[in-house]
Amino acid sequence: MSTRRSQAQARLLHGWEHGFSSGPTAVMGVLGRGYRGLLGAREWLYRRGVLRSRPLGCPVVSVGNLTVGGTGKTPAVELAVRTLAELGRRPAVVSRGYRRRTSGVQIVADTASIRLDPEDAGDEPFLLARRLPGVPVVVGANRHEAGQAAVDRFGSTAIVLDDGFQHRTLAKDLEIVMTRARRPWGNGLMLPGGPLREPLSALARADLEGRAPAGLRGPRVSRELPEHARRSRRRRGGLRGLRRPSLVHGRRPRCPRAARAGEPGRHAHHHGEGLGAAPAPGPDRPADLRVEHPPGAEERARRVAAGVRAGMPDSVILRLPNWLGDTVMAVPALRALRTALPTARIAAAGPWVSVLAEQGLADVLVIYPRAWTARVGVADSVRRLGADTAVLLPNSLEAALSAWYWGAGRRIGFDTGGRALALTDALPLPEPRRHQIDEYLLLVETLGVRADDPTPRLIPPRPESPEHEAARALFAEAGLDGARRVIGVHLGAAWGSSKLWPVERVGEFCRLASARGDAVVLLGTAADEPLAAAILAASPARSLVGRDRPELLPALLARLGALVAADTGVAHLAAALGTPVLTLFGPTDPRLTAPRGPAQTLVGDAPCAPCFYRECPIDHPCMRRIGADDVLDRLSALMGAAG
Encode pLDDT of 225-257 as tens digits: 333 333 333 333 333 333 333 333 332 233 333
Question: Is residue 312 scored above 80 in pLDDT?
Answer: no
Half-sphere exposure of 462 (CA within 13 A, CB side): 8
Q: Which residues contact 440 (CB under 8 A, 6 or more apart)?
A: 329, 330, 332, 333, 393
What residue ranges do the domains of the chain occupy?
A: 53-240, 307-445, 466-642
Q: Which residues contact 18 (CB under 8 A, 6 or more apart)?
A: 187
Cβ atoms 386, 47 nearer than 8 A: yes
Cβ atoms 614, 630 nearer than 8 A: no
- Give the model's confidence band at 302: pLDDT under 50 very low, under 70 low, under 90 confident, else very high: very low
**Where is average pLDDT lowest: 188-192, 223-227, 473-477?**
223-227
Phi, psi of 385 (to 5 degrees): -70, -25
Asked if domains 307-445 and 466-642 share a fold, the reply is yes
How would you classify the pairing of strands 137-139 and 91-95?
parallel
Q: What is the pLDDT of residue 594?
A: 97
Q: Which residues contact 515 (CB under 8 A, 6 or more apart)?
A: none
**CATH-assigned architecture of domain 307-445:** 3-Layer(aba) Sandwich (3.40)
Q: What residues are paired with 266 via a beta bridge?
A: none
Cα 493 from Cα 499, distance rounded (Å):
6
Phi, psi of 637 (to 5 degrees): -65, -40
Cα 478 from Cα 471, distance rounded (Å):
11
**Where is average pLDDT lowest: 281-290, 493-502, 572-581, 595-604?**
281-290
Cα 148 from Cα 160, distance rounded (Å):
12
User: In whole angstroms, how far apart are CA 636 and each of 394, 455, 561, 598, 633?
Assistant: 36, 23, 11, 13, 5
What DSSP letter does each residue of 138-197 carry, written as one string? EE-SSHHHHHHHHHHHH--SEEEEET-TT--SB--SEEEEEEESSSTTTTS-BTTTSSBS
- Give the model's confidence band at 329: pLDDT under 50 very low, under 70 low, under 90 confident, else very high: very high
Q: Read off the pLDDT of each residue in 50-73 and give the average, rounded to a whole number.
A: 84
Three-class DSSP category at 261: coil
Q: pTM score, two decimals?
A: 0.57
Cα 396 from Cα 325, distance rounded (Å):
17
Residue 269 CA from chain centroid, whole number: 32
Question: Is residue 305 scored above 60 in pLDDT?
Answer: no
Cα 375 from Cα 379, distance rounded (Å):
6
Cα 512 from Cα 510, distance rounded (Å):
6
Cβ atoms 264, 86 nearer than 8 A: no
**ω into 294 cis (within 30 of 0):** no
Cβ atoms 188, 285 nearer than 8 A: yes
pLDDT digits (tens, 9 = 90+) for 338-354: 999 888 889 999 999 98
Q: What is the pLDDT of residue 562?
A: 96
CA angle 264, 268, 274 (to 5 degrees): 75
Amino acid at 449: V
Q: What residues are paired with 389 via a beta bridge?
A: 316, 410
Q: Read off the pLDDT of each residue in 562-571 and give the average, rounded to a whole number.
A: 95
Cα 12 from Cα 264, distance rounded (Å):
10
Highest mean pLDDT among 73-77, 491-495, 617-621, 630-634: 630-634
What DSSP letter does each residue of 367-409 carry, written as one string? E--SSHHHHHHHHHHHHHH--SEEEE-S--HHHHHHHHHHT-S
Cα 24 from Cα 165, distance rounded (Å):
28
- Give the model's confidence band at 265: pLDDT under 50 very low, under 70 low, under 90 confident, else very high: very low
Amino acid at 138: V
**Where is average pLDDT lowest: 23-37, 48-62, 137-151, 375-389?**
23-37
What DSSP letter does each residue of 562-631 carry, written as one string? EEEEESSHHHHHHHHTT--EEEEESSS-HHHH---SSEEEEE---TT-S---SS-SSS-HHHHTS-HHHH
How would you classify the pairing of strands 599-603 and 581-585?
parallel
**Where is average pLDDT lowest: 41-55, 144-158, 275-289, 559-573?**
275-289
Domain 466-642: top CATH class: alpha beta
Q: Read off the pLDDT of each residue in 433-438 and give the average, rounded to a whole number.
A: 96
Higher pLDDT pick, 313 / 150? 150
- Give the model's confidence band at 582: pLDDT under 50 very low, under 70 low, under 90 confident, else very high: very high
Cβ atoms 224, 208 nearer than 8 A: yes
